[in-house]
Amino acid sequence: YFKGVIFDLDGVITDTAEYHYQAWKRLAEKLGIPFDRKFNEKLKGVSRMESLNIILSRSNKSYTQEEKERLAEEKNADYKELIAKITPDDLLPGAGEVLESLKKHGYKLALASASKNASFVIKKLKVEHYFDYIVDAATIKNSKPHPEIFLTAAKGLGLAPEYCIGVEDAQAGIEAIKRAGMFAVGVGSSTLKGADVMINDLRDFDIEQYQTMVKR
């Protein structure tokens, strides 16, 4: 039944979600805006500018578009410094094995990350060759939880959405997968609403089990 698997990147394949957190925290603190891990959950899966707007909504100062662009650029510069040192050792547990095994069994694989740095990170991790299709975040108009990025990935694989499994660590991402009409695998230690199944990390990814769970 399922023929393709579409992965989020940050927090699923590698722990760049942590680097996004650190870079945003640094910026928020500089601006005197309170920032913690709980608030950071709202930013997962959300584009750079939208994330900044969410952070700035906690400030009583208003910012011009030009100032916002400068702040987003500043966060990205910090983030890029953090990801420059990524190596294949930074793959999260099970990630390399899952990609290898799915590929070997003939599944089509895609990457659906909202990050404009995704292809740089995928290259540093040396897993680029596993992906049949990588969505270019710059071409996506609607951020997760809108389903656009997952629908674009399915199209890129030449598969109808119902034949695809989406894998996500963010609440907005799970919602996007479900709205795209796909089976949703949630990754992480806290429950994600709407996920068809939750796993701690990709070591527990079990496609044979998901094949038996399809609602026909």
Residues with catalytic annotation? 8, 10
Told to check if 110 binds Mg ion by CB under 5 A, we report no
Token pair 């044979």 in the structure block, residue: 208
Q: How many residues does the chain have?
A: 216
Q: Using CB under 6 A, pick the residue from 44, 108, 124, 178 that binds ligand G6P.
A: 44
Beta strands in the chain (DSSP E): 4-7, 108-111, 133-134, 164-168, 183-187, 197-199
Question: What type of residue sits at position 144?
Answer: K
Q: Using CB under 6 A, pick the residue from 2, 4, 7, 10 that binds ligand G6P.
A: 10
Q: Using CB under 6 A, pick the residue from 33, 46, 149, 165 that binds ligand G6P.
A: 46
Told to check if 99 binds ligand G6P by CB under 6 A, we report no
Q: Using CB under 5 A, pick the residue from 6, 10, 92, 178 that binds Mg ion.
A: 10
> Segment near ligand G6P (CB under 6 A), from 31-39, 114-122, 148-156, 188-196?
114-122
Find the helix or strand (DSSP H, E) in which 166 lies. Answer: strand 164-168
Are 154 and 4 in contact by the 8 Å Cβ rule? The answer is yes
> Segment near ligand G6P (CB under 6 A), from 109-117, 145-153, 155-163, 182-190?
109-117
**Measured CA angle at 124 (ends 14, 27), to 5 deg:** 65
Q: Which residues bind Mg ion (CB under 5 A)?
A: 8, 10-11, 169-170
